[in-house]
Amino acid sequence: MLPFDVVEQTTETNQEDDSCSVIGQESVSGKRPGGKKSVNKEDEKYIEYFGPHQEPMYDKHWICHVCNTTILRYRHKMVEHVKECLRKKSVNEFLCREYSDQEIQNLPKIETFQLWEMMVELRQEVSNLRACVKKLQTNQSQRMDMIHWLNHVCLDAVPEMTFSEWRKSDLFHVRGELLKYAFDFGLKDAVQKCLENLLKTVKMETFPIRAFSKQTHVFYIYEAVDAGAGAGAGVGGFVWRRMAMEEFTKWIGNIQHQFLLTYNQWEEENEAEIENQANSDRMIKYMKMINAEIPNISSLRNWFYGQICKTLKKVVELEFE
């Protein structure tokens, strides 16, 4: 036995009124029961739930296929009945799925349509809340303040030195093999090789430069507050801040200067070879290469970004979920 009667048996008899007369005239002309009043497009989906009654005594009447008991003469009335019939059926399925027979018996008496309206309202609220949460998650991913996150939320270990200290360290001292690499492949490739070797010796967790996948070619550097960091100090008077393009260019220029210092030392050690006229063209080429500006630094910047960037989605999942 279902917790609510799906329908109340209803039979609509042939009443002698104007609307009935119209239907009767249409039926005599050979049309099936349906009524003069049309069904709007929104209600067309309910037509499949009823059809013409097959028994002779109910000729020109519709019967509901949901309850198989309700018989009505007019199609628009049958549509309204089917709507209610489907509502009651849905309520019964919900109650039978969510409650035991004993629990159903103990439920407070409530009109079927009221319970249905409550279900629809609750479902709509849940749907709205899910959409709201999804929107908030999207906004958090797109609009996250990375400087605030790095300084106050990120759980990575604090860098052992600031970016300014790191770029002045002996790690950037150019060895003889790198100078030879510059002679063979050019200064730009040699600077890239220098950075590539450097990345193999550092821990990315404490690296004083950070980059993230959703902020293309943007770098953040770890500095002391008085090094242009501004407000929002992090741990111990040090902060992460965004690196300006000019700062990156200046940093590459400092590395190039290290190549020049090593070249000057190499000149002193190879004076005889340099003074040899047979090597003059090659030595002039080396000197021009070492003293020239590095072309297309942006491509070097793009390469370095690809080496150190973290996938922001993974960072957010680890820290926030």
Query: What confidence tens digit (pLDDT) does each residue in 55-107 have?
Result: 777 777 888 988 888 888 788 888 888 888 887 787 777 777 777 777 777 76
Nearest Cα neighbor of 90 from 206, 6, 31 is 6
Taking the CB of residue 49, how many other CB atoms lie within 10 A of it? 17
pLDDT at 41: 73
Domain residue extents for the chain: 18-105, 111-142, 145-320
Query: What is the per-residue pLDDT across 147-206, written as a single tens digit (0 to 9) for each?
Result: 888 888 887 888 888 998 888 887 788 888 999 999 999 999 999 999 998 888 888 888
Run of H or E residues at 71: strand 71-72
pLDDT at 158: 86
Query: Quick check: 271 pLDDT over 90?
Result: no
**Cα angle vertex 179, ends 245, 263, to 5°?**
90
pLDDT at 250: 92
Query: What is the per-residue pLDDT across 215-227, written as a single tens digit (0 to 9) for each?
Result: 888 999 999 886 4
Q: How far apart are CA 252 and CA 245, in angstroms?
A: 11
- Residue 309 half-sphere exposure toward CB, CA atoms < 13 A: 17
Query: What is the per-residue pLDDT across 276-311, written as a single tens digit (0 to 9) for each?
Result: 767 778 888 888 888 888 888 899 999 999 999 887
Find out whether 174 and 181 touch, Cβ atoms under 8 Å.
no
DSSP string covering 162-229, please? Answer: -HHHHHTSGGGPPPHHHHHHHHHH-HHHHHHHHHHHHHTTS-GGG-SEEEETTSTT--EEEEETTTTT
- Residue 162: what are its φ and ψ, rounded to 5°? -75, 170
Query: What is the per-residue pLDDT across 102-137, written as a single tens digit (0 to 9) for each?
Result: 777 776 665 555 766 677 678 878 888 988 888 777
Give residue 299's identity as a one-letter amino acid code: S
Q: How far apart are CA 232 and CA 149, in angstroms?
A: 11
pLDDT at 151: 87
pLDDT at 25: 30
pLDDT at 33: 56
Higher pLDDT, 52 or 244: 244
The percentage of the chain sitting over the pLDDT mark of 70, rounded to a whole number, equals 74
